[in-house]
Amino acid sequence: MTLSLYDTMARAKRPFVPVNPERVTMYVCGPTVYNFAHIGNARPVVAFDVLFRLLRHIYGAEHVVYAANVTDVDDKINRKAADEGVPISVITDRYLAAYNADMSVLGALRPTFQPRATETMDAIIAMIGRLVRSNAAYTAEGHVLFNTQAYSDYGKLSGRSLDDMIAGARVDVAPYKQHPADFVLWKPSKPGEPVWESPFGPGRPGWHIECSAMIEQTLGLPIDIHGGGNDLIFPHHENEMAQGMCADHASGYANYWVHNGFLNMGDQKMSKSLGNVELVHVLIGQAPGEALRWALLASHYRQPLAWTDDVVAQARAALDNLYGALRRSADVQAEGDAPSEGFLEAICDDLNTPRANAELFALAKRLEIGTPAERARAKGGLLAGGALLGFLQADPEAWFHGGVDTLLAERIDALIAERVDARAAKDWTRADAIRAELTALNVEVMDSASGATWRLREPA
């Protein structure tokens, strides 16, 4: 089975061939941690989680390296920290814990690396230094700017020419820019903002440079897959590639650029002013994580997704259908642990989740009406296909009896076990981080002589 992916750069679906099948690399742009994640933020996380799981299935779990950054230096974070009168780390630790907790309830596996901008500062500064030395960047009025004319392929990913960019540039281009498309790598911090020492003066990095530095540090160029929402193609990914290529003189930046479509609230954009922002944190109190995950994957990842209550209700009904077949076939012994051929064909065709889901329904039907041998094979295929997509992870009985989401319960149990280990190893930083994640999940842990138990608090 050949995996093919739609590559934004080639503007075509291409067979996926990794540089090194022993170390398949994927990078996906992650969150800015200043608030709870909304369901639109979750779409790329879940879509690329499916790709991560599929790559692990094809190449083996230990041969896939996945990095997703955490932007913890940002104006919105600074504002929130100033509002609360706390250091930025209080804000970023809180919302990173909440983010990880929410995404794990949606069934997303944790990336292999989750680098934070504040912890990548040395690599960021070193990379900017190399860009300056090779004349791909210049300093002006306390800023370091990337010189877009230094990279001849600038605009290739998004299909824009530098001339278009001049025409499209706002009138108030900063006077220190040599070209309107040039962008900030380093800038002075305003009074009261976090500041880092650097050879270019005290200040802080621009946003784009962190991803290039993290890719260099965690994965190395060229990477196999770079993912993110299609709203990031320009300028973020265009800028990332220009910096990375000029700093590393690599043969390529990313061999496949994979972008997911936008999520709207019904037919409207999600926005604070419209009051239609749906936080994952709130949604997971209203529907099982698996149902939300299904709702995110019921449409193809490249299509726009209109999020409505109906989409969630349909997702629940779809899972009720599959779990129902499993519950009624509890006596059938599953045969095999590989997904069916039809399922794999669908998911390998640019992650065609609607077709893969249809294949799960076909298996569920066969599980109920087939011959005993067909039923056994159908059950094996259904469970394996479901597992590959992160579905059917609950006990069928438990699914219908509501209560705590099985995924959530498993995650909490795992966190508590990890916390016990961290405390035993006197790793207080880790123990505190786990505690923050449990708090974000509304979990109250009760320690006793016989071990820790837990319960969910009512959401505030």
Q: What angle do CA 449, 452, 453 make, to 5 degrees?
A: 120
Going by C-alpha positions, the residue among 75, 218, 214, 201 that lies closest to residue 132 is 201
Distance CA 166, CA 106 (A): 42
Going by C-alpha positions, the residue among 341, 346, 366, 365 that lies closest to residue 356 is 346
Q: Interacting stretch for Zn ion, rule CB under 5 A, among 93-101, 190-198, 209-217, 416-424?
A: 209-217
- Specify whether the CB–CB gap between 360 and 386 falls below 8 A: yes
CB of 194 to Zn ion, least distance (A): 20
44 versus 381: smaller Cβ distance to Zn ion: 44
228 Cβ contact list (under 8 Å, min separation 6):
28, 29, 44, 236, 237, 259, 260
Going by C-alpha positions, the residue among 412, 402, 391 that lies closest to residue 456 is 412
CB of 232 to Zn ion, least distance (A): 7
DSSP code string of 289-312:
HHHHHHHHHSS-TTS-EEE-HHHH
**Residue 174 three-state SS:** coil
**Side-chain-side CA neighbours of residue 135 (13 Å):** 2
CB of 448 to Zn ion, least distance (A): 45
Phi/psi of residue 68, nearest 5 degrees: -140, 125
CB of 298 to Zn ion, least distance (A): 27
CB of 155 to Zn ion, least distance (A): 18
Q: Does 223 bind Zn ion (CB under 5 A)?
A: no
- Compute the residue count for the chain: 460
259 versus 379: smaller Cβ distance to Zn ion: 259
CB of 69 to Zn ion, least distance (A): 6
CB of 111 to Zn ion, least distance (A): 13
Window 18 to 37, contacts with Zn ion (CB under 5 A): 29
User: 158-197 mask for Zn ion (x: CB under 5 A)?
Assistant: ----------------------------------------
29 versus 77: smaller Cβ distance to Zn ion: 29
CB of 240 to Zn ion, least distance (A): 6
One residue of 67, 165, 184, 211 binding Zn ion per CB under 5 A: 211
User: 224-263 mask for Zn ion (x: CB under 5 A)?
Assistant: ----------------------------------------
236 versus 377: smaller Cβ distance to Zn ion: 236
For Zn ion, how many residues bind (rule: CB under 5 A)?
2
29 versus 81: smaller Cβ distance to Zn ion: 29
Distance CA 153, CA 156 (A): 5
CB of 29 to Zn ion, least distance (A): 3
Q: Interacting stretch for Zn ion, rule CB under 5 A, among 158-166, 207-215, 298-306, 362-370?
A: 207-215
- Specify whether the CB–CB gap between 218 and 65 falls below 8 A: yes
Q: Give the Cβ contact number of residue 226 at 10 Å.
A: 30
CB of 211 to Zn ion, least distance (A): 3
29 versus 319: smaller Cβ distance to Zn ion: 29
Phi/psi of residue 80, nearest 5 degrees: -65, -40
29 versus 64: smaller Cβ distance to Zn ion: 29
Q: Which of 330-334's residues contact partners 24+ apart within 8 Å by CB, and which partners?
A: 330/396, 332/367, 332/372, 332/375, 332/376, 332/379, 333/376, 333/379, 334/376, 334/379, 334/380, 334/383
User: 50-69 mask for Zn ion (x: CB under 5 A)?
Assistant: --------------------
Task: List the structure tokens of 251.
Answer: 């043969």
CB of 259 to Zn ion, least distance (A): 12
244 versus 339: smaller Cβ distance to Zn ion: 244
Window 313 to 342, contacts with Zn ion (CB under 5 A): none
Task: List the structure tokens of 256.
Answer: 């496949």
CB of 142 to Zn ion, least distance (A): 24
347 Cβ contact list (under 8 Å, min separation 6):
50, 54, 339, 353, 356, 388, 389
Q: What angle do CA 110, 412, 66 make, to 5 degrees?
A: 5
Distance CA 31, CA 39 (A): 12
224 versus 359: smaller Cβ distance to Zn ion: 224
Going by C-alpha positions, the residue among 73, 5, 250, 77 that lies closest to residue 242 is 250
| Token pair 């999020």 in the structure block, residue | 307
Q: Interacting stretch for Zn ion, rule CB under 5 A, among 205-213, 316-324, 382-390, 424-432?
A: 205-213
Q: Interacting stretch for Zn ion, rule CB under 5 A, among 170-178, 203-211, 261-269, 306-314?
A: 203-211
3 versus 51: smaller Cβ distance to Zn ion: 51
259 versus 377: smaller Cβ distance to Zn ion: 259
- The residues of the shown chain that bind Zn ion, judged by CB under 5 A, are 29, 211
